[in-house]
Amino acid sequence: MAKNELPEKIQKKIKEGWIRSWMMIEVLAITEKAAKDAMEKHIKKMKMEKKTIVYGRKNHSIEKIKNPRPDIPEAYSYVVELEVITETFEQLVVIAMTYGPSAVEILEPQKIEISIGEAQSIINSVAEMIHKFVQAGIGGIVIST
């Protein structure tokens, strides 16, 4: 969506310093219905996030994928592009960590300044996520000796 086509509410938030971004999210599921349902639930949850407004959406066709993994003969891929604004850079990082977009592009502003407190909070959020992976037994940081 071109900047001059944005809803007035979105333009106002951007002028107040909110961060405008584009992101692409992909869901892979065993059935077409499961892919669609999972995506709808995922985006609905994102729309409920504080300090976040999802205002644009472009749905791609659901596609059948052969052998997405060695143990899965076929699955369905559903890709959606979203336009989002977040009040802070920290909130954008939280959205990326929580909702796992395949790609994120910051559209504006051209320059972002954050306080040391916000930077520290972002770093601690990333560290916490790594520890959650370790606790779940699904990953972590490998330390060479």
Q: Is the dihedral of CA 50, 51, 56, 61 positive or negative?
A: negative
- Residue 14 pLDDT > 80: yes
What is the pTM assigned to this prediction? 0.86
Question: Which range, of 66-75, 124-133, 135-144, averages the lowest pLDDT?
Answer: 135-144
Q: Is the dihedral of CA 135, 139, 143, 145 positive or negative?
A: positive
Residue-level pLDDT at 8 = 92
Q: Is the dihedral of CA 127, 133, 135, 139 positive or negative?
A: negative
What beta strand segments (E) does 30-135 contain?
52-59, 63-69, 72-86, 103-108
CA distance 39 to 111: 31
Residues 10-22, mean pLDDT to the nearest whole number = 95
pLDDT in tens, 30-69: 999 999 999 999 999 999 999 999 999 999 999 999 999 8
What is the pLDDT confidence band of residue 142, given thresholds at 50, 70 and 90?
low
pLDDT in tens, 68-92: 989 999 999 999 999 999 999 999 9
Answer whether 100's CB lies under 8 Å from 79's CB: no
